[in-house]
A and B are shown apart, each in its own frame.
Chain A
Amino acid sequence: MSYGHIAVEGHVTSSSSGTLGARRARWGRSAVAACLSVALLGCSSEDPGGQSSPTAPGNGNQDTVQGSKDATDAQVKPAAVRGRCETSRVGPGLLRRLTRTELQATIQDVFPEIAADWRGTRLSADPASTLGFSNDSSALLVGVQTAGEILRTAEDVASLVTSEGVLPVVLPCASAGGEACAGEFVDQYGLRLFRRPLAAEERGEYLSLFNSVAAESDFAMGIKWTLVALLQSPHAVYRSELGTPGDGGRRELTQHEIATQLAYMYGGSTPDATLLELAASGRLSDPAVRAEQARRLIRSPRGLEVVQEFFRSWLGYESIVYAQRDDVPNFSTTIAPDLVEETRRFVSQVIFEEGGDLRDLLQAPYTMLNANLANYYGFGHGADTWQRAERPWGAGLLSQGSVLVSTAHESATSPTLRGLLVYRKLLCNDKILPPAIVPTLEQSAGEAQTTRELFEVAHLTKGAGCDNCHRLFDPPGFTFEHFDETGRYREQENGHPIDPSGYLPLADGSRVELANFDDLVAQMDEVPQVSDCVSGLMMAYMFSGGGGQVCLAEDERAALASGEIGIEEYLVRLTQAPHFTTRQ
């Protein structure tokens, strides 16, 4: 869900097939006009990236607004999510709709009896927020489509649960039937689905529904439609983070709300018996208990997936399973899945096996390979099983094959896409909109011999206007040029030497000169903007957007930035932040 891709996808054309020398075209009048229009208008940019201001209702579907239209050089505009504060704040109370994945996991955990026959939730893909995450509470709405999908999901599940072979297992008293048995069902499964005990009035409503349906059909039908209502209830569909009124306008989350937050944030599913018991006994007010539960849950299979989903959303590398590569037949089926798995295992190794921090993530001198990828890359052990392999080139997350492929075209690299990866995803700068008319690179080819030269001529020629924006992200992108569009190392390009130098523009207007890619990842460790950005994105993801509030866990972010704690511990320590138990 990399918006860096979206910002310029298609507006930075690759070389199509053939050598650079074969891809020449005349420079049309429209092309000149395009860049001149950029020079006159400057770069337009979106509102502070990805997070609405604390004073405005959060809305993942942010409007694109035009920025300054003067002719000065483009200004780097930092995204709000990167912002740091002296002290931590708390966000507003909110209702957080379950994501498709969370709903799936919830039903699987509550009704394991139907696992063999249930086709899964009917929900469509969740919408992405402007930060690229699909768990943002402000973007997860229930319109007509989603309400219909939830209803159909509920009917599917309820039909299976009340089927002849399953109902007696789920509800042993079903053979006797009657309202008392229905009451047992409502109590037991209402608690699991609402993640709290039902109030007396609520229980009464559900039993009333049961009785009205059963009277016109039978016990099983009554239970079926009672369950449909439970599953599509707003109390099941939304995770409540409203709290109860406290002092100074603050609202303290209830024990069950805290249990729910722990369960989904770290375990990706509904509270289990342990959490429900801790909630019932009031022990989740204890920070140590919360941390202990977070540590337990984040290491569960679903908890590990919650963390993996951050990386997939943040960098968007999973999209390569649909990619094609001119030089690699059947790339999408023979190589791409292993590249995705490589990154998955790399993330797990760094964060969970080695307790790594941001520096380790960006500079780790190893990756995880199987025999297929060892052969593909040309280094490694060649063993059938996945194993750690020391790198002869590249380092860390940004040189993962999946990331390199996702920021390139079918037959050429793209310094712009790779530069935007750094610009948007590591520095959290605002999305910059391309102008309406963008000439193809072929029109700019001239005498360029390498991709870098082509991009320099097309994008950075003074006076053409395109450099107004491209100077912000093409230069860091040049440092990737030793990695080709297949994610592999190349010493030279079409027989010509590669110049991997560049620079990193910073928000304060300064820039850091870079000799090559290794220099890029080393320098990012020195730039506070990077740790602020990544810690801010992780925080926004874990708190599902925080209702638009930033600065939710400042002590914890500082500890991560200083190297005091690793990434896993940072995520666990979010349970200690005021926002974890309080809203306003």
Chain B
Amino acid sequence: MRRTFLKAVGLGLSAPLAYQMSRLAVAQTGDRPTRLFIMYLPHGVPIEHYDPGDGFNLDASGVGILSPLEPYKQYLNVLRGVSMNDGADNHAAVRAMLTGFQDGKGVNSIDFTIAQALNTRAHVLGVHPHRGWGLDDDSRVVKHGDWVTPTENPADAIDALFEGLGTGAAPTPTPVVDEAKFRNAALGLTEREIEAMQREVTGLTAEENKLALHLEAIRSLKANSGGGGLGVISCDARPSLPSAEAMAGKDPFLHEHFGTVLDGHLEAAAHAFVCGTARVVTLQTMYANAQILMNFPGGPGLGHNHHDPLSHSADEAGRTQFAQVQKWFYSRLAEKFLAVLDQPDPADPGHTVLDNSLVMVCTEISDGQMHNSAANPETWILGAPRATYLPFVLIGGGGGYLKTGQFAHTPVMHTDILATLAAAMGAPVTEIGGQSVSVPEVLKA
């Protein structure tokens, strides 16, 4: 690795790029370079504006929440019939959504599981992902040993998403010392200290658990000290990220910045996927019960709160407004993220980045007004019975693993969908939290 590094520097490559190239020697090869993007959007959908019907027409239903995805229809799997596992229901299901179990008991979220298996880092970004004072039960979505507070400002997320890539400025002339070894030595000392401390707290169950979690975290840092990407970086420098960079020094929780923060995160994650500097990213958009007005600049233009009254609307007008809001989020995903991925994959030129990616859009409840998280073939909405289900949308080929372009009937627990993510990413699981899981056959290519 050192020899490759010095050779790369000798060839005139910038030190950071040379350093990344030197890691190609230990990079994963063979399988297609898959990426995973999970987007959480709370409060369900009004099904009458969402369901594409057996004809798989994204515009079929009312407002057509999924219609912004029309250009990528061939990559879509709109899933019908999924129920939340473990009886998790109502907004409390937010904690089960990526872990599979109520309150994520003893289970990490699937992004972490996949990232660990791939020896990469799971990035977690957030758009108003919690109330101003911090993480609480409504905002616990991602769990990496403990619940994760997402990076709120996209300008702050850039450093981690593009780790190893400079800004394009001239490299410093001083020799670069590989400090990764020193970092690991420091982590090793910390590891030993925690192990010694564990002996001091024998009998204090809570403290034992605390230190066990800490120890596992330190060991995880040691194991993943190589970075968070594909191992193949295709960019010489960080790309221009206007929305993300526009947030530098600004408060991401200010209402007027909501749209810019969302765009910034989508833009940064997409380009990080293209550059190969990130491979697993979760975007937590708001939180359960989020009372955020949807009239921020560049937004859906509705002066009502997302949760209530919008998602709680029982009347036609209100449900239509809610549908318009959810449609707007899909439009930003399409414009700022999917459009970027729809280009030849530098790491696999025979396919696009979207071919090699898997995007999952998920939410913790089905119908915003009924608050159900289990599939129900007959939910009364506006005076008529409709089938409701936990709305999952998968976008992307998953490196060829998935059959796409379908409205797939998947009457399964959502843990099987989490298993599908893992399988597509080349990190298959047969159980989650002790419960057997499998990929629905209809999703396999």
The chain A residues found within 8 Å of chain B, CB to CB, are 1, 3, 6, 9-11, 13, 16-17, 25-26, 28-31, 57-59, 61, 63-64, 92-95, 124-128, 132, 134, 138, 141-148, 151, 155, 205-206, 209, 212-213, 216-217, 221, 224-226, 228-229, 232-235, 242, 312-313, 316, 318-319, 321-322, 324, 332, 410, 436-440, 442-443, 547-548
Contact = CB atoms under 8 A, between A and B. Distances in A.
Instruction: Please name the 9 residue pairs, one residue from A and one from B, whose CB atoms are nearest each other, closest first.
Output: A143-B146, A143-B145, A124-B149, A57-B206, A10-B308, A125-B134, A147-B217, A436-B371, A144-B144
A225 B185 contact: yes
B213 A141 contact: yes
Size category of the B interface is 35 or more
Contacts of B255: 322, 324, 332
B201 A57 contact: no
B9 interface: no
B211 A145 contact: no
B204 A145 contact: no
A16 B201 contact: no
Interface string B212-225: 01101110110000
A124 B124 CA distance: 12
Contacts of B371: 436-437
A125 B133 contact: yes
Contact of B209 (A57, A155, A206, A547): A57
Contact of B214 (A26, A29, A147, A322): A147
B435 to A, nearest CB: 19
7 contacts: A95-B210, A143-B145, A146-B217, A235-B197, A438-B312, A440-B308, A440-B312
Given A11-B308, A209-B185, A229-B190, A30 B380 contact: yes
A142 B315 contact: no
A128 B193 contact: no
A122 B136 CA distance: 20
B186 A225 contact: yes
A426 B77 CA distance: 51
A125 B149 contact: yes
B346 interface: no
Highest count of chain A CB atoms <10 Å: which of B149, B214, B315? B214
A148 B221 contact: yes
Contacts of B210: 95, 141-142
B246 to A, nearest CB: 19
Given A59-B206, A124-B150, 16 more contacts: A1-B134, A6-B289, A10-B312, A28-B314, A92-B206, A95-B211, A126-B134, A134-B133, A147-B218, A206-B189, A221-B179, A235-B193, A316-B133, A332-B254, A440-B318, A443-B314
Interface stretch (B299-307, B334-342, B411-419): B299-307
Contacts of B220: 144, 147
Given A30-B369, A64-B92, A205-B192, A145 B144 contact: yes
B134 A233 contact: no
A146 B254 contact: no
Contacts of B102: 63
Interface in B119-148: 124, 130-138, 140, 143-148
A432 to B, nearest CB: 14
A146 B144 CA distance: 10
B194 A234 contact: yes
A79 B36 CA distance: 43
A13 B133 contact: no
B98 to A, nearest CB: 14
Contacts of A16: 304, 309
Contacts of B124: 145
Contacts of B312: 10, 13, 438, 440
A90 to B, nearest CB: 14
Nearest to A410: B293
A217 B182 CA distance: 10
A219 to B, nearest CB: 13
A153 to B, nearest CB: 13
Contacts of A63: 102-103
Nearest to B220: A144
B370 interface: yes
B109 to A, nearest CB: 11
B218 A225 contact: no
Contacts of A124: 135, 148-151
Given A93-B201, A437-B371, A144 B309 contact: no
Contacts of A232: 186-187, 190
Nearest to A92: B204
B26 interface: no
B138 A6 contact: yes
B254 A322 contact: yes
A75 to B, nearest CB: 22
B315 A93 contact: no
B40 to A, nearest CB: 16
Contact of B149 (A1, A145, A438): A145
B388 to A, nearest CB: 13
B355 to A, nearest CB: 30
B6 to A, nearest CB: 16
Contacts of A442: 309
Given A124-B149, A148-B221, A64 B137 contact: yes
